[in-house]
């Protein structure tokens, strides 16, 4: 079996760069063979899944070839009793969830665009959605990986059991690596049961300070929501609180939330099923709106300061808005680019403010702001990643060990890696 | 990263050359004493004795010396001295590991982090604790329990094991079924690398840009560097915990109960199984009035009240449906603690029914529990040995205890062979040779059975990125260590070669 290299066309472009060739392997051996061939010709390669996070990171410094995973898209093994699934990289999350649902199971990972986001892409881009509040990000759900290295060597890490400490943790190491250490060719995930019931309540009319206060109260009351997100609500925020589980648990969670909100001087409204779906769809739409998108991370206690830090950037962009995950210390901001100069200044200002955000009792807890999407005009003025990571030199050494010629997604990662 | 002052391999080699070969042990001790103070360098054979092994007591090896740094700066100094002298370093926490991960290699210096035991910061606004590596696991929870918080990973040794050791081994515990392992709870770390550089990895804020090097650090068994500070995620204590103890005619029914509970969409906080021998041992040690039965389960459900009560009732009903003989629900917290004490003491309790025993640690797919336990039973009978099973059933993490009497000629060897066969059963079942104890020195050979050469070589490349000199805990994890970044040139013995744990060809 051989996946032939073909001449690349406009749909193969990555952030404005057009590769010369493209290849679409249908099996892991084909992918390995393709990478060996690309290695022999010393070609610079970018791996592409559903393309949902292709705008994350700078454009590749060089680009000769694109490897698509769309034909590498089978479920290799689903063991419902063991709550694991092994899939090829190119399967979309939506297709995977459709296959799991009849067994009463799901992958508890809910980034936007599940119909396009692929399993391999989710790992490479460290994708996550609102349920991260309960289930963690992809790094907390991936238990095994098969990678194809720059030299075409196929290597496995982790395995098919959740509890496993044998060897170095390649699966988690690849999370967020953007294909710069190798092709994520197969992934093994741990699964969770589909909940019997879901319920979301909305607490509207909150100032930034109240978002933190209410979120803190919900967590302190140990109600254990699966998602907690503040969405724009006129000039203020509405806190969405989602419960999932067995019916008695969800019912109790919503009741107690109602009482808690009242005690805090706020009002919670339980949403009907249609409104619940609409609210979380709005969350995803806000997160993915516009042509400039940013992700800010900060100490969870500093929600109000983080919102303050993001205001100038929000002001510099048209439309869109900011959604906040107060339990995680993460905010997503999106909008349309007006003046690139003004936006770049606002990005720098936000970074400076987030970098010096202080939690109580300790100075210098650092927050970050990453541009997850931006038009070339803004990219030219602002590094998508911001300041290089503290351990940059070590990261470079890791990159050299696994991709000595610097051919995989060169320049895509923080610090120019 | 503090690259300034870091020593390259070449510089290290030329330093050794200028000195006319590697310095003597006394000279190394003198240099280390200049870094940490004379009182914190041990060379007296009697003082070294305790460091010859960790929780895995066979294969004892004397280190050349033991050094106890008290700060990150002192760890840097120690690493520089060792690097220059070509002395391998074996980091050590509380020495409770069960895979020989802290076992010395000949000519090494053991770096004990026992003096670095300060809790540096508790931040309950963010749910973070910043601690030094020598802090005892349970002390983190003790420090925040009054405010209703805890640190989730709970290895059975949590009263004595250290956070640094937990990071090295990616420790789990009974409750990691629901809450995950150490790797899910480490937010940031300060690490001293083998070149003397200090790096800060991770956040603690989420998703720091760049590679997730914390993923490479946690569970690397001390091969990538020495951790000097760790920021941990703290959790609020769940509102309610419901526990029940169920007995069964055999492990078949107990295994079926576990499968039924999981299939019903229940995620227990912990679900533990004991077989007849383990129950017998636990009874002998604790005086609990547990019946004489083929198997028992101990399950915790925790979370908000209504959910937990619902889940607990469902699980009990399911256990009855598949043939539970008896269900006991503790009347109060004291009785609950007693049940858990029985479970947690089962390991040590086996000492009451056998003069010696081996502790194995393997993982199988949960659905295979009953079948694999029968297979282990058959193998044990064939070897003329008894095996007690007490384990984390929810995640298929077996802990077969192979009972033997070293006074009977050949029995210890038969026990070791049986232990190895059990690991092979785990590998064949699609599982792992270790769920929480680590590979260490003990299981390095089995790595080559669970993983292929390319898998291991890829992992070694990751190690090389951190420790190109190969002086950090050599001889662990990898069956055949690879030397990093070899360049053609005159032959020089590598520290790992001198220590007899790696060969060049």
The answer to whether B204 touches A299, Cβ cutoff 8 Å, is yes
Percentage with pLDDT > 70 across chain A: 98
| HSE (side-chain half, CA atoms, 13 Å) at B59 | 18
What's the pLDDT at B497? 53
Name the residue with higher pLDDT: B485 or A63. Answer: A63
What's the pLDDT at B483? 82
Answer whether residue A53 is part of any domain: yes
Tell which of A193, A211, A246 closes a domain: A193
| Distance of alpha carbon B203 from alpha carbon B189, whole angstroms | 8
Query: Considering only alpha carbons, which residue of chain B is nearest residue A147?
Result: B455
B439/A194 touch (CB, cutoff 8 Å), yes or no: no
Is B8 in a helix, a strand, or coil? coil
Nearest-CA distance B334 → chain A (Å):
23
Tell which of A244, A274, A304 closes a domain: A274
CB interface of A with B, residues 39-98, below 8 Å: 79-84
Nearest to B126 among A165, A299, A368 (CB): A299
B226-242 confidence digits (pLDDT tens): 999 999 999 999 999 99
B366/A170 touch (CB, cutoff 8 Å), yes or no: no
Range with the poorest average pLDDT among A22-31, B18-27, B258-267? B18-27
A165/B172 touch (CB, cutoff 8 Å), yes or no: yes
Do A188 and A200 lie in one domain? The reply is no
Q: What is the CATH number of the domain that holds A352?
A: 3.30.70
How large is the average pLDDT for residues A361-371?
76
A401 touches chain B (CB under 8 A): yes
Answer whether residue A394 is part of any domain: no
The backbone region for B135, taken as left when phi is positive above 0, alpha when psi lies in -120 to 50, beta otherwise, is: beta
Do A151 and A235 lie in one domain? The reply is no
Pairing of strands A236-245, A197-206: antiparallel
Q: What is the DSSP string of B198-259?
A: EEEEE-SSS--SS--HHHHHTTSTTSS-EEEEEEEE-EEPPSEEEEEEEEESSHHHHHHHHH
What's the pLDDT at B11? 54
Is A150 in a helix, a strand, or coil? coil
Range with the poorest average pLDDT among A3-12, A284-293, A352-361, B7-16? B7-16
Range with the poorest average pLDDT among A172-181, B249-258, B278-287, B306-315? B278-287
What's the pLDDT at B2? 40
CB interface of B with A, residues 274-303, below 8 Å: 303
Nearest to A297 among B206, B219, B262 (CB): B206
Q: Could you tell me which residues come within 8 angstroms of residue A246 by beta carbon, excluding any fewer than 6 positions away?
A: A195, A196, A197, B265, B307, B310, B311, B314
Do A189 and A201 lie in one domain? The reply is no
Helix ranges, A117-173 (H): 119-124, 132-135, 170-173
pLDDT at B12 over 70: no
Among B129, B125, B126, smallest CA distance to B206 is for B126
pLDDT at B10 over 60: no
B105-149 confidence digits (pLDDT tens): 999 999 999 999 999 999 999 999 999 999 999 999 999 999 999
pLDDT class of B503 with cuts at 50, 70, 90: very low
How large is the average pLDDT for residues B156-166?
94
Question: Which of the 8 DSSP states describes residue B467?
Answer: -
Average per-residue pLDDT for chain B: 91
pLDDT at B104 over 50: yes
The answer to whether B340 touches B299, Cβ cutoff 8 Å, is no
pLDDT at B378 over 90: yes
Query: Considering only alpha carbons, which residue of chain B is nearest residue A216?
Result: B125
Do A217 and A298 lie in one domain? The reply is no
Name every chain A residue with its beta carbon within 8 A of the beta carbon of B438: 165
Do A175 and A246 lie in one domain? The reply is no
Is A408 in a helix, a strand, or coil? strand
Residue of A165, A181, A330, A386 to mutate for B, most B C-beta atoms under 10 A: A165
What's the pLDDT at A385? 96
How large is the average pLDDT for residues A308-335?
95
The CA-CA-CA angle for residues B129, B133, B139, to 5°, reads: 55
pLDDT at B47 over 60: yes
Q: Could you tell me which residues come within 8 angstroms of residue B10 by beta carbon, excluding any fewer than 6 positions away?
A: none
Name every chain A residue with its beta carbon within 8 A of the beta carbon of B477: 167-168
Give me the number of domains chain A comprises: 4
B315 touches chain A (CB under 8 A): no
Query: Considering only alpha carbons, which residue of chain A is nearest residue B311?
Result: A246
Count of other CB atoms within 10 angstroms of residue B383: 17
The answer to whether A371 touches A292, Cβ cutoff 8 Å, is yes
CB interface of A with B, residues 245-274, below 8 Å: 245-249, 251-253, 256
Do A159 and A217 lie in one domain? The reply is no
| Distance of alpha carbon A56 from alpha carbon A50, whole angstroms | 13
| Distance of alpha carbon A86 from alpha carbon A88, whole angstroms | 7
Pairing of strands A192-193, A105-106: antiparallel
| Distance of alpha carbon A143 from alpha carbon B370, whole angstroms | 23
Among A318, A320, A298, smallest CA distance to A307 is for A298
B464 touches chain A (CB under 8 A): yes
Answer whether residue A392 is part of any domain: no
Nearest-CA distance B78 → chain A (Å):
20
pLDDT class of B344 with cuts at 50, 70, 90: confident
Instruction: Please report the beta strands in A217-271, taking only residues with DSSP state E, as ranges in sequence order.
Output: 227-233, 236-245, 269-270
For residue A98, report the phi and psi dihedrals to the nearest 5 degrees: -65, -35
User: Residue A233 sits in which domain range?
Assistant: 196-274
Do A40 and A83 lie in one domain? The reply is no
Q: How far is CA B162 from CA A131, B202, B417, in A?
A: 32, 20, 31
pLDDT at A40 over 70: yes
Answer whether residue A65 is part of any domain: yes
Q: What is the CATH number of the domain that holds A47?
A: 3.30.43
The alpha-carbon radius of gyration of chain A (Å, integer) is: 22
A224/B172 touch (CB, cutoff 8 Å), yes or no: no
What's the pLDDT at A362? 53
A10 touches chain B (CB under 8 A): no
pLDDT class of A356 with cuts at 50, 70, 90: confident
Answer whether residue A397 is part of any domain: no
CB interface of A with B, residues 127-146, below 8 Å: 136-137, 139-140
B187 touches chain A (CB under 8 A): no
Q: Could you tell me which residues come within 8 angstroms of residue A85 by beta carbon, excluding any fewer than 6 positions away?
A: A75, A77, A78, A79, A96, A100, A107, A188, A189, A191
Q: What is the CATH number of the domain that holds A160?
A: 3.30.465.10
Q: How far is CA B283 from CA A326, B60, B278, B388, in A?
A: 48, 32, 9, 13
Nearest-CA distance A9 → chain B (Å):
31
Nearest-CA distance A416 → chain B (Å):
10
A80-101 confidence digits (pLDDT tens): 999 999 999 999 999 999 999 9
A9-34 confidence digits (pLDDT tens): 999 999 999 999 999 999 999 999 99
Q: Could you tell me which residues come within 8 angstroms of residue B175 by beta carbon, excluding any fewer than 6 positions away?
A: B152, B153, B154, B269, B270, B300
Answer whether residue A322 is part of any domain: yes
Do A185 and A294 lie in one domain? The reply is no
Do A154 and A114 lie in one domain? The reply is yes
Do A212 and A235 lie in one domain? The reply is yes
Answer whether residue A284 is part of any domain: no
**pTM of the predicted model as reported, rounded to 2 decimal places:** 0.94
pLDDT class of B1 with cuts at 50, 70, 90: very low
What's the pLDDT at B422? 96
The CA-CA-CA angle for residues B161, B170, A325, to 5°, reads: 115
Do A96 and A25 lie in one domain? The reply is no
Tell which of A133, A158, A193 closes a domain: A193
The CA-CA-CA angle for residues B223, B226, B228, to 5°, reads: 155
Do A86 and A181 lie in one domain? The reply is yes
List domains and CATH numbers for chain B.
Answer: 1-237 (3.30.465.10), 240-428 (3.40.462.10), 444-498 (no CATH)
Q: What is the CATH number of the domain that holds A235?
A: 3.30.70.3450
What's the pLDDT at B58? 82
Q: What are A75's strand-pairing partners?
A: A87
Residue of A155, A164, A300, A327 to mutate for B, most B C-beta atoms under 10 A: A164
A161/B364 touch (CB, cutoff 8 Å), yes or no: yes
B305 touches chain A (CB under 8 A): yes
Question: Which of the 8 DSSP states describes residue B155?
Answer: -
Average per-residue pLDDT for chain A: 95
Name every chain B residue with its beta carbon within 8 A of the beta carbon of A394: 1, 193, 197, 199, 213, 465-466
Range with the poorest average pLDDT among B101-105, B256-260, B340-344? B340-344
Is B482 in a helix, a strand, or coil? coil
Name every chain B residue with its beta carbon within 8 A of the beta carbon of A162: 395
B236/A219 touch (CB, cutoff 8 Å), yes or no: yes
pLDDT at A200 over 60: yes
Contacts 24+ apart (CB under 8 A), A355-359: A355/A387, A357/A298, A357/A299, A357/A302, A357/A305, A357/A306, A357/A309, A358/A302, A358/A305, A359/A299, A359/A301, A359/A302, A359/B123, A359/B125, A359/B126
What's the pLDDT at B5? 45
CB interface of A with B, residues 343-372, below 8 Å: 359-362, 365-368, 370
pLDDT at A132 over 70: yes
The answer to whether A156 touches A145, Cβ cutoff 8 Å, is yes
pLDDT at B440 over 70: yes
Answer whether residue A281 is part of any domain: no
């Amino acid at each position: 079996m051989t996946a032939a290299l073909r001449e690349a066309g406009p749909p193969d472009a990555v952030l404005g760069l057009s590769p010369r060739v493209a290849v679409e392997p249908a099996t892991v051996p084909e992918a390995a063979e393709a990478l060996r061939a690309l290695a022999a010709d010393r070609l610079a390669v970018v791996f592409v899944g559903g393309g949902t996070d292709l705008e994350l990171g700078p454009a590749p410094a060089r680009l000769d070839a694109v490897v698509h995973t769309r034909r590498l898209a089978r479920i290799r093994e689903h063991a419902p009793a063991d709550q694991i699934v092994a899939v090829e990289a190119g399967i979309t999350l939506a297709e995977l969830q459709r296959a799991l649902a009849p067994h009463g199971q799901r992958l508890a990972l809910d980034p936007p665009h599940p119909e396009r986001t692929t399993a391999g892409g989710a790992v490479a881009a460290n994708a996550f959605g609102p349920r991260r509040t309960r289930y963690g990000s992809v790094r907390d759900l991936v238990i095994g990986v098969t990678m194809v290295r720059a030299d075409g060597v196929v290597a496995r890490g982790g395995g098919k059991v959740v509890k496993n400490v044998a060897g170095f943790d390649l699966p988690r190491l690849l999370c967020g690596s953007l294909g710069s250490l190798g092709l994520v060719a197969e992934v093994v995930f741990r699964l969770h049961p589909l909940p019997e019931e879901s319920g979301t309540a909305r607490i509207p009319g909150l100032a930034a300070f109240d978002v933190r206060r209410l979120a803190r109260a919900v967590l302190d009351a140990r109600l254990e929501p699966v998602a907690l997100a503040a969405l724009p609500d006129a000039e203020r925020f509405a806190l969405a609180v989602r419960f999932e589980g067995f019916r008695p648990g969800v019912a109790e969670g919503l009741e107690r939330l109602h009482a808690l909100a009242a005690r805090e001087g706020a009002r919670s409204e339980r949403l009907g099923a249609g409104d619940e779906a609409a609210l979380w769809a709005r969350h995803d739409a806000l997160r993915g709106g516009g042509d400039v998108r940013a992700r800010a991370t900060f100490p969870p206690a500093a929600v109000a300061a983080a919102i303050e830090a993001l205001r100038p950037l929000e002001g510099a962009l048209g439309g869109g808005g900011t959604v906040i995950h107060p339990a995680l210390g993460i905010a997503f901001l999106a909008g349309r680019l007006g003046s690139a100069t003004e936006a770049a200044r606002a990005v720098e200002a936000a970074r400076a403010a987030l970098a010096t955000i202080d939690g109580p009792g300790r100075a210098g807890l650092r927050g970050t702001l990453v541009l997850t999407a931006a038009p070339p005009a803004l990219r030219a003025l602002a590094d998508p990643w911001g300041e290089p990571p503290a351990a940059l030199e070590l990261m470079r050494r890791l990159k050299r060990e696994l991709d000595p010629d610097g051919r995989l997604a060169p320049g895509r990662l923080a610090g120019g890696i | 990263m503090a690259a300034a002052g870091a020593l390259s391999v070449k510089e290290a080699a030329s330093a050794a050359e200028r000195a006319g070969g590697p310095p003597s042990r006394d000279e190394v001790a003198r240099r280390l004493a200049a870094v940490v103070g004379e009182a914190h360098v041990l060379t007296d054979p009697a003082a070294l004795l305790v460091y010859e092994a960790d929780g895995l007591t066979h294969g004892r090896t004397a280190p050349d010396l033991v050094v106890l740094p008290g700060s990150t700066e002192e760890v840097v100094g120690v690493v520089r001295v060792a690097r220059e002298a070509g002395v391998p370093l074996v980091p050590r926490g509380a020495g409770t590991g069960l895979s020989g991960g802290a076992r010395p290699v000949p000519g090494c210096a053991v770096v004990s982090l026992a003096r670095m035991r300060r809790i540096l910061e508790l931040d309950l606004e963010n749910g973070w604790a910043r601690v030094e590596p020598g802090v005892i696991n349970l002390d983190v929870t003790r420090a925040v329990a009054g405010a209703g918080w805890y640190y989730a990973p709970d290895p059975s040794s949590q009263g004595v094991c250290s956070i640094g050791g937990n990071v090295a081994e990616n420790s789990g515990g009974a409750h990691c079924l629901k809450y995950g392992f150490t790797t899910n709870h480490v937010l940031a770390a300060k690490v001293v690398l083998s070149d003397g550089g200090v790096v800060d990895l991770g956040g603690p804020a989420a998703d720091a840009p760049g590679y997730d090097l914390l993923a490479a650090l946690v569970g690397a068994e001390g091969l990538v560097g020495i951790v000097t500070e760790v920021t941990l995620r703290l959790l609020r204590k769940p509102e309610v915990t419901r526990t029940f103890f169920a007995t069964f005619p055999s492990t078949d029914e107990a295994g079926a109960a576990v499968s039924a509970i999981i299939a019903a969409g229940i995620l227990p906080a912990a679900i533990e199984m004991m077989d007849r021998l383990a129950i017998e041992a636990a009874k002998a040690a604790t005086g609990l009035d547990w019946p004489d039965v083929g198997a028992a389960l101990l399950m915790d459900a925790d979370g908000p009240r209504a959910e937990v009560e619902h889940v607990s009732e469902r699980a009990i009903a399911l256990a009855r449906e598949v043939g539970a003989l008896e269900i006991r629900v503790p009347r109060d917290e004291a009785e609950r603690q007693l049940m858990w004490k029985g479970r947690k003491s089962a390991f040590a309790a086996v000492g009451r029914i056998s003069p010696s025993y081996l502790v194995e640690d393997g993982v199988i797919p949960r659905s295979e529990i009953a079948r694999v336990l029968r297979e282990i039973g058959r193998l044990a009978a064939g070897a003329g040995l008894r095996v007690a099973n007490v384990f984390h059933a929810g995640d298929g993490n077996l802990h077969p205890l192979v009972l033997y009497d070293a006074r009977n000629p050949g029995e210890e060897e038969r026990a070791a062979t049986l232990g190895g066969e059990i690991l092979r059963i785990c590998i064949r079942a699609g599982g792992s040779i270790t769920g929480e104890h680590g590979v260490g020195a003990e299981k390095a050979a089995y790595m080559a059975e669970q993983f292929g050469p390319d898998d291991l070589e890829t992992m070694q490349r990751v190690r090389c990125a951190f420790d190109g000199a190969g002086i950090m805990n050599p001889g662990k994890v990898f069956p055949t260590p690879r030397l990093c970044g070899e360049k053609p040139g005159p032959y020089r013995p590598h520290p790992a070669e001198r220590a007899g744990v790696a060969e060049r060809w």
